[in-house]
Amino acid sequence: MSTPIRLLLVDDDPLVRSGLRFLFDSTPDVTVVAEAGDGAEAVTAVHAHAPDVVLMDLLMPGVDGISATAEIKRKPASPHVIALTTWDVNDAVIRSLEAGASGFLLKTAPPPDIIAAVRAVRNGDAVLSPRSTRQLLDHLRRDETVHHRRAAEEALGRLTDREREVCIAAARGLSNAEIAGRLFISDATVKSHLSAIQVKLGVGNRVGIAVLTERAGLLHRG
């Protein structure tokens, strides 16, 4: 049996944390290693408990989830962070993704979706749904600048043709399995390409891949 995913729950509402703990206590491949009530406690808990994944509320008093995410992601071998939000894509969500979060979940998401997201991000798979990815990219499109486009085009120019295909598919919100099926390659090959793409683009996760792919205009070429 594989080692359970180590999970840290961060929310200033004890009822939310209690509900999430109840959910994951009945999930055999996930272990809640700690809880935190604000961003400062979250940073301390990451150092103390070495979680694999952090479910991070964004709007908290004191140190908010965005600042905590940025602090956590500055460390080497940092855990994956999934932002928890009451709203769809907004400024707080964008800032959390820029800080290094691997995706976001609505607090109203069905329990199976929350569990699936934790498993997915731990495996390096997609966290943003295709719908959420479209919302994110629409937001970026509105904020697009010539500088951003040129920098993104230069970065994407470092990719091979196959890496570019994987890059575009990942940016559209496809899972590793979906990319593998579409391109007739194995899941392991997809993961290998994604790792190489992140290194070449200088990004830490699939969200960064999506941002640069959109800014380079590759999502509008069929």
222 residues of the chain, pLDDT tens digit each: 579 999 999 999 999 999 999 999 999 999 999 999 999 999 999 999 999 999 999 989 889 999 999 999 998 889 999 998 887 666 788 788 888 888 888 888 899 999 999 998 888 776 766 566 667 766 666 655 666 778 888 899 999 999 999 999 998 888 899 999 999 999 999 999 999 999 999 888 888 898 888 888 887 654
Secondary structure (DSSP) of 23-72:
HHHT-TTEEEEEEESSHHHHHHHHHHH--SEEEEES--SSS-HHHHHHHH
Residues 131, 136, 137, 138, CA torsion sign:
positive
* Domains parsed from the chain with CATH numbers: 5-123 (3.40.50.2300), 137-220 (3.40.50.2300)
pLDDT score at 220? 67
Q: How far apart are CA 177 and CA 114, in angstroms?
A: 19
pTM: 0.72
The separation between CA 88 and the C-alpha centre of its own chain, rounded to angstroms, equals: 15
**Token pair of 108 as six digits:** 């109203």
Taking 3-state DSSP, the helix, strand and coil percentages for the chain, each rounded to the nearest 5, stand at 55, 15, 30
Do 101 and 207 form a contact (C-beta atoms < 8 A)?
yes
pLDDT score at 89? 61
